[in-house]
Amino acid sequence: MKKPGNEFGMSSKTHDVESEELSSSEEDESEIERELAEVTFEDLQKAKSNGSLTVFKKPDQEKKGGRANKNRPTEVSCKKPVSRFREVVQVPKKVVRDPRFESLCGNLDVEGFRKRYDFLFKNNLPAEKEELKKQLKKSNDPKVIDQLKERISWIEKQTKFESTKQTDAAILAEHKKKEREAAKQGKRPFYLKKSEIRKQRLTEKYNKLKASGKLESFIEKRRRKNAAKDHRYMPYRRSANSEQQS
């Protein structure tokens, strides 16, 4: 007769052997799945067409860029994420050009530009100023009146600035002409500073006002303007009531 203890021992041993075989088979299946996951789709198709289901794992090696055949498309890994923004249509890049610093546009002729657009400061802006003054007298809307005054002030500044530039340009041109004649005689050229140009401009203005008889009125107007500026910064005298309260 067989002892019951031996039967339980044999059954436990067989159970351990079966569990080890199952675990080894599961490991083999997982290993096969890992190998098949790394096999390319092209190799699987070749194995099926040949009738052999055995696919050998290729040794791990770094994939080099390029194509095996020039007629094949380049293989790209599906593990790399595709960028969200792709350049589907190549748009030509906009190139911003500044004509002041472009050799293609030529050199700026300041005198020629001033002569060609001189009609704006001599005819158009003065005519617009007179029209705006007429509208200012007829208008009763405060907003419209403020807009008209701002536009008139802007026109006056532009015309005054342009006249100053023209005067400075004339002074500089006359000085250059004299210096060219002096250079022909062997003298060293003298270049005018901005302060010298301003002095000559004020001298010319003074001579014109004196010749026209408007010098006294101009000086009186300038004196009142300077007095108003000084009056703003002068301290006020305290009244007697305020001194007694303090």
Tens digit of each residue's pLDDT (9 = 90 or more) over 51-97: 555 555 455 555 555 677 888 887 777 787 777 777 778 888 888 88
* pLDDT for the residue 132: 92
Q: Mutual orientation of helices 142-184 and 194-212 as an angle, nearest 10°?
A: 110
Asked if residues 139 and 145 have their Cβ atoms less than 8 Å apart, the reply is yes
CA terminus-to-terminus distance, the chain: 133
Instruction: Report the percentage of the chain scoring pLDDT > 90.
Output: 11
Burial class from Cβ neighbours inside 10 Å (0-12, 13-18, 19+) for residue 54 reads exposed
* pLDDT for the residue 37: 67
User: Tokens 């067409």 — which residue?
Assistant: 49
Q: How confident is the model at residue 50 (pLDDT cuts 50, 70, 90)?
A: low
157 φ/ψ angles, rounded to the nearest 5 degrees: -65, -40
Our CA dihedral for 132, 137, 143, 147, rounded to 10 degrees, sits at 20
Q: Interior CA angle at 102 toward 97 and 105, to 5°?
A: 100
**C-alpha span between 220 and 217 (Å, rounded):** 5
* pLDDT for the residue 1: 44
Our CA dihedral for 185, 187, 192, 193, rounded to 10 degrees, sits at 170
Average pLDDT rounded to a whole number, residues 126-144: 91
Output the CA torsion sign for 32, 34, 38, 41.
positive
Alpha helices in the chain (DSSP H): 4-38, 41-50, 110-116, 118-119, 125-138, 142-184, 194-212, 215-233, 240-245
Our CA dihedral for 201, 203, 205, 207, rounded to 10 degrees, sits at -150
Give 162's contacts (C-beta < 8 A, 6+ positions apart).
121
Is 237 strand, coil or helix? coil
* pTM across the whole model: 0.46
